[in-house]
Structure 1
């Protein structure tokens, strides 16, 4: 299993408040994590980078016995996400410079063809194969609340002035309950984790065309970032692209 990680500041920002990483255990289990921080230059950067670092450290302390059943995966993901949430929430309340900080957090735990995703915020996870592209996660956003209540249409949501308002973030509340999704990665399938700097700019069909092209994996990831920048690049852009067509895990 191969992967590429790219994070770009974009064309309008001076600080990259996104963070992304992939951690690999000796037994081949991998954890891909991506986060989009908020709360100003200091708070946003700190929130996203701390979330990635802490969850990665906890993951690397695990052994294969911790993943005998998928239920154990779910329990571990909930626990570690809540641990990160408490840590950031406490620091935001104790440090005036970090007040109001928070971060989105996507964590994809992959063992063989099985993937469990923890989702908080409006960063996204997509599953892509020859049959199409599927958005695995559902944004914790204000416009989705309006959509669910029937107050606006999909077309109105796409251009709504508050479309970037998120309703749930790591570190913004004392407790958190992330959404969990279980998916199977079939042959010729890819997993794409990204921040909204990509998803707000590049439509899903164009994402699919790029990912399923004959280009090298690194070039595919770079092309996605370049497209977002070409279309304005107002936000930081981060991408983790995972190719599940090979069983062997390869470090970047």
Structure 2
């Protein structure tokens, strides 16, 4: 294992330490909308307001945030929670009621354990409850926080920019290394089980080769994949384990930029 590390790590370009919004998934808190389906549905499907239209239009599969919805009736909801249509608004009085009994509306299990950047998308009373919930859930040191403001057109633009600007994040922890470093199933477009083309940026003379992804983790030089690669060893083709930079893996047939 020591030999593997010393021969591989020089192939990693130096990278800055990951910031929260890269290493951890982003969190989007969305206000419910007055426009709804006329039947029971998952919360993320039930709401049909323009902010939800913008969310669906800008959502990216390689960098999707964790989402919680603040319902004026139910409190915080996981997007997959099935609910019936209702008619209730987040007035100042309703926001005060929620904040006075926040634990009844928080639903701690719906919140991610760790988050990077956070966006609050909704009107002023919704955002007031959201800020209180964030402080209750994550303590006084809040993550990087953005809030929507202005007219609805501006808020839609802000939500779209937030979603478009998200960086990939690690998803679905499946274990950990002996030193405690978490191991994940996916990072951005790279998913365990994928077969990708490996091209070392720091060693362009090496020929490209196929690599099967086993897992991903945050290595000393950034997002790293544990892969199996076909190598020629003493004239014979062998399957060899490697730790490689995620940036050196290409899942499409296009040449990297």
Q: TM-score, normalised by structure 2?
A: 0.26
Task: Choose 1 or 2 for highest CA Rg.
Answer: 2
Normalized per residue, which structure has more strand? Answer: 2
Q: TM-score, normalised by structure 1?
A: 0.26
